[in-house]
């Protein structure tokens, strides 16, 4: 009889050890998954902020085109948006060259535009991100 009691005691100890190992492995998997999800969300937020800065820069460039069309002596300025700020600087006339810098949070993106004025008809000859 004593032999049977020892077998039962050793089996119940094995179950506890197995349960602790399974819980430990599960905890490692959950912790690693949480860290990966957190990193992915942070990267996505930064990417969205950078894309928003480009949108602000393009909007500033479009606004500058209209202002130069209406007032050929326009020299630039700032244009606030809900998500950021566009800063426009005109560096030359005919061909007009200006840069629109969009700033959102810590991200900044720039668009350089060159337009030609030919007898009152303005055409965009270059529109590129710097």
* pTM recorded for the entire structure: 0.72
Residues 91-112: pLDDT tens digits? 987 899 999 999 999 999 999 9
pLDDT > 90: percent of the chain: 62
Domain boundaries, the chain: 2-129
Average pLDDT over residues 7-26: 78
The CATH class of 2-129 is alpha beta
Contacts of 46 (CB under 8 A, 6+ apart): 107
pLDDT at 117: 83
Terminal C-alpha separation, the chain: 86
């Amino acid at each position: 009889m004593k032999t049977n009691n020892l077998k039962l005691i050793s089996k119940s100890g094995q179950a506890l050890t197995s349960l602790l190992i399974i819980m430990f492995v599960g905890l490692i998997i959950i912790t690693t998954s949480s860290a990966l999800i957190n990193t992915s969300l942070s990267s996505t937020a930064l990417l969205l902020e950078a894309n928003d800065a480009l949108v602000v820069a393009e909007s500033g460039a479009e606004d500058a085109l209209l202002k130069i069309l209406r007032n050929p002596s326009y020299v630039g300025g700032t244009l606030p948006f809900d998500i950021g700020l566009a800063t426009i600087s005109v560096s030359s006339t005919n061909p007009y060259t200006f840069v629109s810098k969009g700033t959102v949070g810590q991200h900044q993106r720039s668009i350089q535009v060159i337009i030609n004025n030919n007898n009152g008809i303005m055409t965009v000859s270059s529109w590129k991100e710097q």
